[in-house]
A and B are shown apart, each in its own frame.
Chain A
Amino acid sequence: MVNYYQYSLKNLRRRGIRSWLTLLGILIGITAVVALITLGNGLKTAVNSQFGVSSTQAITIQAGGLNLGSPGSAVSTPLTKQDAEAIGKLSTIEFATTRNIEQLIIEYNNKIKVNYIIGIEEGTEKESYELIGIASENGRLLQSGDSKKIVIGHNFIDGKKNGFEKDIKIGKSLMINNQSFIIIGILEKKGSFIMDNIIIMPEKDLDNLVHFGDNVDIIGVKVKDKDLMDKAKEDIEKLLRKRRNVKVGKEDFQVSTPDAILSQVNSVIGGIQIFIVLIASISILVGAIGIVNTMATSVIERRKEIGIMKAIGARNKHIFLLFLVESGFMGFIGGLLGVIFGLFIGYFGTVGINNFVGITAKPTINYFLIFFVLIGSFLLGALAGILPAMGAAKENPVEVLR
């Protein structure tokens, strides 16, 4: 058996920088694919956490289509408290709560900022907190009977992050639409950009500022049992169609289950992944063409060597395999480095996402993928080398030695 591997590696080393440049296309492509798939889990966990999906038994109802922007904005026929009451009476529903969300002007330390404020319905505070999935880190949450009091998101504490250039503590007051509100609690860090920057106040205080009356932006519902989610969704849709007088398929409201939100988010991420994999594939293809080119050049450069080897007894098969293995090696090394870089980026990328949004996602190391990539990149390299290797095998020793 000829020592193809040693000979191939020596030739790759001999070409030095040219070998590396040839590897680059495959290297970049594989790096992108491996990094992306390794990041995938962290990416999904991070994005999902941004939507505050906490309870598997929660259903969120909004007027208008599903809106990932400011909830309740651009709504023609708003939902009402009466809608919520009716929904709360459905047999599948444990309870229904309402929330209003407004953007208001906040003043502190002589700095002004526009911020989201959630109004929490009086009497169902505990239920609302369960649905939104929040708890206090310091102080306490709002209770029935609280007035002119607020609870703030975790990012408000730090003067560098809150936009007011001064740390905020419990007991301080914020000016909201020129009225003073005292801070009685700080929320736990959620890792969600929205929830960490929110202000919570009693609904009637918010109504005093904005005057929305019986209209509500969001009805939050807890379903009696996880298995009843689909049934509950249907019940709510049926009820609201009747109350709002709309036909099936023409709904001007949106009933979102956690599954629906997750699947929508995941389909967006999936789309991005497909896009990046597509671009990575182009890189890999270009890399493969680069290998064809380098190998073809190499055959021409080494014609004499081929002639010598044939003179001392190399069969066509030997020459063919020498070049094929060499070309396969180029693919393999590109793939190997790509896997290493990709895992590196994926791992530290996940750590970075974790630190940035405060979640704990584990990088997914897909051993099957790594195995497949390594084998695949060798085969791709070999495939790219087939034609040049055939050319090399066909060289006539006499022509070549002249």
Chain B
Amino acid sequence: MKEKEKIIVLNDVKKFYYMGDNIVHALNGINLTVYKGEFIAIMGPSGSGKSTCMNMIGSLDVPTHGTIFLDNEDTSSLSESDLSELRGSKVGFIFQQFNLIPNLTVKENVMLPMDFQGIPKKERKKIAEELLRKVDLTDRMDFYPNQLSGGQQQRVAIARALANDPEVILADEPTGNLDSKTGDRVIDILNSLNNEGKTIIMVTHDPDLAREHAKIVYWLKDGKIEKITKKKRN
């Protein structure tokens, strides 16, 4: 068996917030290693710190204590802008609220992450069209996000997350705003991406969803990992 490559490592990560005079311990010493090609889920009730944890993994936020490695790079040593660029190329985000840019068309939304990486326009266009074909939205390329259903918007978001061919797809409650049927479709896409070799990290509060699809589930409570469950191979 070949040795698995680490893609994300969290070492004793802590995050404190000040809320007035109180200190909120959002994360209280998280140790977590994600290997390439894994499908993991981070589970927990609201207030368990899973959103903060996701921000750390996606290097949107910096920890108060501890270190984070993204593809072997210590994120604490990077400037904010270099971090943005690293994030843009290594991580694709999928949000619960879809978070498409409202006044850009579907195609332009998918092209945007490549824009920031300085990919030439012709290539951006070609890749965007390819990705939109993959999520079955070829006929909606020139629509604006508000002309699409929630499920369609989330598929656009997936295409956008894939734009820079990142190692990791970070999905924050990707089905949270969708009905079960369209939600299933989104999960199917994530599964097939995982089969193609992408690392998928899904944050959810739905235990069934986590157990059914993720190979490893990290259960968070009060800013700590309470337990880790692994799915047996069928």
User: Cβ of B117: which chain A residues have Cβ within 8 Å of it?
Assistant: 313
Given contacts A313-B85, A313-B87, A316-B84, contact A398 B55 (CB under 8 A): yes
In the complex, what's the smallest C-beta–C-beta distance from A299 to chain B, in angstroms? 15
Contact A318 B116 (CB under 8 A): yes
Quick one: closest B residue to A314, CB to CB? B116
Query: 14 additional contacts, CB 8 Å, given A2-B115, A315-B81, A316-B81?
Result: A1-B118, A7-B104, A14-B102, A309-B101, A310-B84, A311-B60, A312-B88, A312-B116, A312-B161, A313-B87, A313-B88, A313-B89, A313-B117, A314-B88
Contact A314 B103 (CB under 8 A): no
User: Cβ of A317: which chain B residues have Cβ within 8 Å of it?
Assistant: 81
Residues 271 to 327 of chain A near chain B (Cβ within 8 Å): 304-305, 308-318
Quick one: closest B residue to A394, CB to CB? B80
Quick one: closest B residue to A6, CB to CB? B108
Contact B84 A305 (CB under 8 A): no
Contact B85 A315 (CB under 8 A): yes
Q: Is B151 close to A, CB under 8 A?
A: no
User: Cβ of A226: which chain B residues have Cβ within 8 Å of it?
Assistant: none
Contact A398 B61 (CB under 8 A): yes
Per the bound structure, the CA–CA distance linking A305 and B55 in Å amounts to: 17
User: Cβ of B116: which chain A residues have Cβ within 8 Å of it?
Assistant: 2, 309, 312-315, 318
Quick one: closest A residue to B164, CB to CB? A313
Given contacts A2-B115, A2-B116, A14-B103, contact A312 B60 (CB under 8 A): no
Residues 1 to 29 of chain A near chain B (Cβ within 8 Å): 1-3, 7, 10-11, 13-14
User: Cβ of B113: which chain A residues have Cβ within 8 Å of it?
Assistant: 312-313
- Report the number of A-B residue pairs with Cβ-Cβ less than 8 Å: 67
User: Cβ of B112: which chain A residues have Cβ within 8 Å of it?
Assistant: 309, 312
Q: Give the A-binding residues of B (Cβ under 8 A).
A: 55, 58, 60-61, 80-81, 84-85, 87-89, 92-93, 95, 99-104, 112-113, 115-118, 121, 160-161, 163-164
Per the bound structure, the CA–CA distance linking A308 and B84 in Å amounts to: 11
Q: Is A74 close to B, CB under 8 A?
A: no
Query: Can you spell out 8 A-B residue pairs with CB atoms less than 8 angstroms apart?
Result: A308-B95, A308-B99, A309-B116, A312-B92, A312-B112, A313-B164, A316-B84, A317-B81
Quick one: closest A residue to B87, CB to CB? A313
Contact B93 A311 (CB under 8 A): yes
Per the bound structure, the CA–CA distance linking A45 and B104 in Å amounts to: 53
Q: Is A391 close to B, CB under 8 A?
A: no
Q: Is A71 close to B, CB under 8 A?
A: no
Q: Is A52 close to B, CB under 8 A?
A: no
Q: Is A260 close to B, CB under 8 A?
A: no
Q: Is A397 close to B, CB under 8 A?
A: yes
Q: Is A209 close to B, CB under 8 A?
A: no
Per the bound structure, the CA–CA distance linking A318 and B58 in Å amounts to: 20
Per the bound structure, the CA–CA distance linking A142 and B12 in Å amounts to: 112
Tell me the dominant secondary structure on chain A's binding face: helix
Q: Give the B-binding residues of A (Cβ under 8 A).
A: 1-3, 7, 10-11, 13-14, 304-305, 308-318, 397-398, 401
Quick one: closest A residue to B98, CB to CB? A308
In the complex, what's the smallest C-beta–C-beta distance from B27 to chain A, in angstroms? 13
Per the bound structure, the CA–CA distance linking A401 and B51 in Å amounts to: 11
Per the bound structure, the CA–CA distance linking A310 and B55 in Å amounts to: 12
| Contact of B60 (CB < 8 Å), options: A2, A7, A398 | A398
In the complex, what's the smallest C-beta–C-beta distance from A19 to chain B, in angstroms? 13
Given contacts A311-B93, A318-B116, A398-B55, contact A304 B85 (CB under 8 A): no
Per the bound structure, the CA–CA distance linking A13 and B103 in Å amounts to: 9
User: Cβ of B100: which chain A residues have Cβ within 8 Å of it?
Assistant: 308
User: Cβ of B99: which chain A residues have Cβ within 8 Å of it?
Assistant: 304, 308, 311, 401
User: Cβ of B61: which chain A residues have Cβ within 8 Å of it?
Assistant: 397-398
Quick one: closest B residue to A310, CB to CB? B84
Per the bound structure, the CA–CA distance linking A11 and B101 in Å amounts to: 11
User: Cβ of B163: which chain A residues have Cβ within 8 Å of it?
Assistant: 312
Per the bound structure, the CA–CA distance linking A388 and B84 in Å amounts to: 20
Given contacts A304-B99, A305-B101, A398-B60, contact A312 B118 (CB under 8 A): no
In the complex, what's the smallest C-beta–C-beta distance from A327 to chain B, in angstroms? 17
Contact B93 A312 (CB under 8 A): yes
Per the bound structure, the CA–CA distance linking A398 and B53 in Å amounts to: 12
Which of B87, B118, B121 has the most C-beta atoms of chain A within 10 angstroms of its own C-beta? B87
Contact A10 B118 (CB under 8 A): no
User: Cβ of A1: which chain B residues have Cβ within 8 Å of it?
Assistant: 118
User: Cβ of A7: which chain B residues have Cβ within 8 Å of it?
Assistant: 104
Per the bound structure, the CA–CA distance linking A309 and B163 in Å amounts to: 13
Quick one: closest B residue to A14, CB to CB? B103
In the complex, what's the smallest C-beta–C-beta distance from A153 to chain B, in angstroms? 65
Per the bound structure, the CA–CA distance linking A233 and B66 in Å amounts to: 93
User: Cβ of B161: which chain A residues have Cβ within 8 Å of it?
Assistant: 312
User: Cβ of A10: which chain B residues have Cβ within 8 Å of it?
Assistant: 103-104
| Contact of B160 (CB < 8 Å), options: A310, A312, A314 | A312
Per the bound structure, the CA–CA distance linking A304 and B104 in Å amounts to: 15
* A-B complex: 8 closest residue pairs judged by Cβ atoms: A313-B88, A315-B81, A313-B116, A312-B113, A398-B61, A2-B115, A308-B99, A14-B103
Per the bound structure, the CA–CA distance linking A398 and B56 in Å amounts to: 10
Quick one: closest A residue to B92, CB to CB? A312
Per the bound structure, the CA–CA distance linking A305 and B116 in Å amounts to: 14
Which of B85, B87, B113, B115 has the most C-beta atoms of chain A within 10 angstroms of its own C-beta? B115
Given contacts A311-B60, A316-B80, contact A11 B103 (CB under 8 A): yes
User: Cβ of A309: which chain B residues have Cβ within 8 Å of it?
Assistant: 101, 112, 116
User: Cβ of B104: which chain A residues have Cβ within 8 Å of it?
Assistant: 7, 10
In the complex, what's the smallest C-beta–C-beta distance from B73 to chain A, in angstroms? 15
| Contact of A3 (CB < 8 Å), options: B88, B92, B101, B115 | B115
User: Cβ of A13: which chain B residues have Cβ within 8 Å of it?
Assistant: 103
Quick one: closest A residue to B99, CB to CB? A308
Quick one: closest B residue to A400, CB to CB? B60
Contact B87 A311 (CB under 8 A): yes
